[in-house]
Amino acid sequence: MGKPLLFEIWQKPASSCIIGICTVIWFYIQKKNIGYANVGLSYETAIEGHYWRIITSAFSHISVVHLVFNMSALWSLGVVEQLGYMGLGVEFYLQYTLILVVLSGLLVLGVYHILIQKFKLEYFRRVTAVGYSCVVFGWMTILAVKQPSSKLNLFGFLSLPISFAPFESLIFTSIIVPQASFIGHLSGIVVGYSIAWGLIHGMSNYWAISMLGWIILVFLLSLKRTGASNLSFIEIEPVTDSSFPAVGYFASGNSRTLQMDILPGRVAELV
């Protein structure tokens, strides 16, 4: 007889929260009839400054099958939170989830850039990635290295040996769902191995909070700059001198406003 659901949620607090967030976002997307092109990540939108899509694309799912598949796998991978004695645990899970979300998204864009600029494959300019799959494949890979005897349970009845799960799932999804992002899934695997093998290490609560702060700042500024959201408390004004961009607060009545001076053509310096 399995453990009670509430007990498992208590043992997997971070996974449970992320599943809840993704589910709420899915319901919101359905209610507002938002298309994946409006929240997904593509090379074309990235070079236009839509950096916020690295985050929205990861947590958005357009179809219920897509959502259920990813969240079922994530629930099974939540066992990472219970492996504190192996150097994993809840803090490790939260810290490196940030790494997986950001680096897998950047790696996807990097691969698109090479395919477009070096191999002239213009098709990849408009390919749009969406879903939490990159992070799921990353955790699948980390668990395969750290605890190869584990099993990946999907939908409550399908069980895969975790040691082969990353590449089995990569091939399986590519065959069953041809439109699935092979590059996105492979990017998650690459970042996952980099973490599991210690190539990316040294994260702490301090660095995780600092990184989260920068993610939020870039997210809000790119939302404002691209006009994707009217954030009235942020003002972005160009300047004509040759100094570096400056960020600061100034008082406006009873409120405080974030003002950022940016040189034309130097947006890339913000990231």
Catalytic residues: 133, 185
Rounded Cα–Cα distance for residues 42 and 231 (Å): 23
Rounded Cα–Cα distance for residues 126 and 41 (Å): 9
Which residues, in sequence order, are CB contacts of 36 under 8 Å at separation 6+? 60, 62, 128, 130
Cβ neighbour number for residue 33 with a 10 Å cutoff: 7
Contact of 77 with 136, CB cutoff 8 Å: yes
CA–centroid distance for 31 within its chain: 23
- Where helices occur in 36-159 by DSSP H, the ranges are 43-47, 53-59, 64-77, 89-117, 133-146
Rounded Cα–Cα distance for residues 134 and 131 (Å): 8
Q: Is 119 exposed, middle or buried (0-12, 13-18, 19+ CB in 10 A)?
A: exposed
